[in-house]
Amino acid sequence: MAVDVAFTPGAATPAAVGVVVDVLRATSTIAQALASGYERVLCAAEIDEARALRASLPDSLLGGERKAVRVEGFDVGASPREFLEARARTLILSTTNGTRAILETAERCERVVLGSLLNLAAVAAAVGSDDSVVVCAGFQGGFALDDVYCAGRIVELLGGERTHAATAAGLLARAFPNALDGLNARTYGPPGLEEDIAYCAQEDRLDVVPELTGMEGAAAEIMLR
């Protein structure tokens, strides 16, 4: 079993399992939405694609953000705290980094699951003994410390032979006394996300594994494993 970490989606190597991490906030939000009763989440890269899906699916909710701000005209944003109860069968989601990372990872990996601190143990167990790459969504195409922290926490739960990048992620994760400090160490992104950061820093709140099940048009369909 080999374990790798890609600091950006473009650096991901092919693997049996790709674990996408956008801890602030897409993968945390998707895990929360599915745990709350949404049957599926459709992840669209582009705003226009998301709007077109919403128009064709009456029992759906349209959510998403750009630069952490809710997209104009969308029903909701992308905070996990907005999805504590299901309001529709389908959540359609488009975010700055996370939904793109899911789609890009799907091109390289046989299976794609979504990881966060909220479902840390569950996603590590789902990887099992398969070769895996933990794919960090990153920030505007670059390194995102919060994602690498979460990736390192996942790596620490996996066995196998680690690449240099996986070893580095594990070392970074161990540099912080707790998850909240790890997420707050980031030096980018807008202010005003303090409550979401605290929520996303909770460990093993959810015993769910969101997994790519197929495509609906250009959107990735995510359901519970």
**Which CATH number do you get for residue 72?**
3.90.1560.10
Helix (H, G, I), strand (E, B) or coil at 83: helix
> What is d(CA 209, CA 119) in angstroms, rounded to the nearest whole number?
7
Query: How far is it, in rounded angstroms, from Cα 28 to Cα 176?
Result: 20
Q: Distance between CA atoms of 121 and 115, rounded to whole angstroms?
A: 9
Structure tokens given for 135: 């794919």
Question: pLDDT > 70: what percent of the chain?
Answer: 100
Dihedral, 92, 98, 104, 107 alpha carbons, nearest 10: -60
Domain count, the chain: 1
Q: What share of the chain is helix, strand, coil (3-state, %, to 5)?
A: 35, 25, 35
What pLDDT digit, counting tens, does each position of 137-179 carry? 999 889 999 999 999 999 999 989 999 999 999 999 999 999 9
pLDDT higher than 90, residue 42: yes
- Helix (H, G, I), strand (E, B), or coil: what is residue 126? helix
pLDDT exceeds cutoff 80 at 188: no
pLDDT, tens digit, for every residue of 53-103?
A: 999 999 999 999 998 899 999 999 999 999 999 999 999 999 999 999 999
pLDDT of residue 140: 85
* φ, ψ of residue 149 in degrees (nearest 5): -60, -50
Residue 36: phi and psi, rounded to 5, are: -85, -10
Q: Give me the residues paired with residue 115 across strands.
A: 21
**Confidence label for 225 from pLDDT (cuts 50, 70 and 90):** confident
* DSSP letter string, 157-220: H--SEEPHHHHHHHHHHHTSSSHHHHHHT---S-S--HHHHHHHT--S-----EEEEEEETTEE
Q: Which domain holds residue 200?
A: 2-224
Sign of the Cα pseudo-torsion (100, 151, 122, 77, in order): negative
In the chain, the N- to C-terminal Cα span, in Å, equals 21
